[in-house]
Amino acid sequence: MKLSTRSRYGARILVDLARNRDQGPVQIGEISKRQDISVKYLEQLIRPLKKAKLVTSVRGPKGGHLLAEKPENISLGQVVRLFEGQTDLVECVSYPEKCPMSDD
């Protein structure tokens, strides 16, 4: 399964925030430089991450973004479902009646 750019970049944002969590809120410009992703695109990706309560933000001159959860509590599956929607890896999950392994 190939992930979309949105899923890959969403995961990179979360990894960046996890790696830099000791320095407090991380500004989007810093993430942009480290990850080589435009600020404008990052802003589009941060919104759903905040809505899903994976990321939180702090306003002000020393504001920025933080993980809303401990890194170990966030899975790649959550990120993929957020940006791709529910995905079934095999047809049997979506269409059990068509599955050759089904008991009928």
**Which pTM value belongs to this model?**
0.80
Residues recorded for the chain? 104
Residues of the chain with pLDDT under 70: 1, 87-96, 98-104
Task: Note every long-range contact of 33-36, with CB atoms under 8 Å and residues 24 or more positions apart, other chains counting.
Answer: 35/9
pLDDT, tens digit (0-9, with 9 covering 90-100), for 45-60: 999 999 999 999 999 9
- Indicate the CATH number for domain 5-98: 1.10.10.10
Distance of CA 91 to the CA centre of its chain: 25
Distances (CA, A) of 49 to 35, 80, 103: 17, 11, 40
Each domain of the chain, given as residue ranges in start order, spans: 5-98
Instruction: Look at residues 43, 34, 50 and name the one whose alpha carbon lies nearest to residue 82.
Output: 50
